[in-house]
Amino acid sequence: MAESERQAKAGSGSPTEPTRLPARGLFLLVLLTLIWGSNWPFAKVAVQEMPVIVMRGYSGTAGGALVLVLALLAGQSLRLNATEWRWILPTAFFNATLWLYFSGLSVSYISAGHTAVAAYTMPLWLFLVSTIFLREPPTLGKWIGLALAMGAIAILLFRNFDPATGDWRGVAAMLVAALSWAVGTVLMKKVPWCAPTPVLVGWQFFLGGIPLTILAIPEFISMKPASLLAWSGATYSAFMGVSAAYWLWFKIVSMVPAWVASISVLAVPAVSLILGAVVLGEPLGWMEVAALLLIIGGVSTVLPRPSRIN
């Protein structure tokens, strides 16, 4: 019996990956969910008093710089090779510049909770873009997931066609942001990166935030002074929503496979919806709950699963 078990383990080629978080990892996961979930209400507070491009330029450059500092303190080199430098700018454009601006534009039009729900269509757009450009074979489950996401988007659009509730342009802006993230992720897959992932994330947000910061200068000069609360929201979005959140994410992924961590953070839009309703007085009815459930169901069909061990 013991001999057969040893042979089975040897035949698998690699040890079984852990699929349950240790107690410390569970604490980090709860913290990450709260940070990412509260990021959208904080961003909403900021864009109510300052131009989107000012807030997002600050979030990108400051947040990215702090990620690079954290990577440096962790003993990681910030150097990129020639191939990586050639690709870091286009990936930064899609993953940071477009994502930051259009997601910020979205939260300026619609509620923080609606923005968070729409943001979680990102994995579904990634499936669609990968199917078209990387020729990755689609499955029936993934097409069903995409249909569920379309149902959620239809609910959000219907909800935000009412001027008293929001603006449909906010949903459209977040779809552009999610699609840009998907394109950037496909580009990331095509490049043989050597640098650690935190370094790549830091460079992308820092470099991607620079164009926004430059374009924000005239807006910053002419804007009315923002309150301490608004700047606190922008600072939270930069240092917590970008820097601390990504640091926590990579710590969690180092404990369990990425597919486990991905499923675990599906609670993020629910946190945004609840906080938006409680703190900002945003709507939270059956339409929001239905859209949330459709998104969770849709995303769960496209998240990576563990490979089957023969």
Burial of 285 (0-12, 13-18, 19+ CB in 10 A): exposed
What's at 257, amino acid-wise? P
260 vs 308: which has the higher pLDDT? 260
pLDDT value at residue 235: 96
Is the pLDDT higher at 265 or at 44? 44
Token representation of residue 70: 């954290």
**C-beta neighbour count of 71 within 10 angstroms:** 23
Orientation angle between helical segments 112-119 and 23-47, nearest 10 degrees: 120
**Maximum Cα–Cα distance for the chain, whole Å?**
77
- Mind listing the pLDDT tens digit for each residue in 218-268? 999 999 999 999 999 999 999 999 888 888 887 777 776 655 666 667 788
Query: What's the rounded Cα separation, in Å, for the pair 77 and 73?
Result: 10
SS3 48: coil
Q: What is the pLDDT of residue 206?
A: 96
pLDDT recorded at residue 53: 97
CA–CA dist 245, 43 (Å, integer): 15
Whether the predicted pLDDT of 9 surpasses 90: no
Say yes or no to pLDDT of 144 above 90.
no
The average pLDDT across 90-118 equals: 93
Share of the chain above pLDDT 70, in %: 85
Distance CA 153, CA 292 (A): 10
* Closest to 188 measured CA to CA, from 136, 124, 137, 130: 130
Q: So what's the pLDDT on residue 125?
A: 80
- Give me the percent of the chain exceeding a pLDDT of 90: 46
Torsion of CA 170, 176, 270, 237, to 10 degrees: -90
**Looking at residue 61, what is its pLDDT?**
96
Rounded Cα gap, residues 57 and 97, in angstroms: 9
Rounded Cα distance, 36 and 237, in Å: 9
The torsion defined by the Cα of 248, 250, 252 and 257, in degrees rounded to 10, comes to 160
Average pLDDT, the chain: 84
Among candidates 35, 26, 30, 33, which has minimal Cα distance to 242?
35
What mean pLDDT comes out for the span 46-67? 95
- Of 156 and 136, the structure prediction assigns the larger pLDDT to 156
> What are the distances in angstroms from CA 171 to CA 51, 103, 118, 144, 165?
18, 9, 7, 21, 12
Question: Which segment, 52-56, 152-156, 260-264, 282-286, is predicted with the most confidence on average?
Answer: 52-56
Crossing angle of helices 99-109 and 168-190, in 10° steps, is 160
Q: How confident is the model at residue 309 (pLDDT cuts 50, 70, 90)?
A: very low
Once rounded to an integer, what is the mean pLDDT over residues 80-104?
94
What was the pLDDT predicted at 69?
95
Q: For residue range 182-218, what is the model confidence (pLDDT) as tens digits?
A: 888 888 888 889 999 899 999 999 999 999 999 999 9
On whether the CB atoms of residues 41 and 275 are closer than 8 A, the answer is yes
Res. 12: pLDDT tops 70: no
Please report the pLDDT score of residue 304 as a whole number: 60
Summarize the confidence of residues 85-113 as an average pLDDT: 94
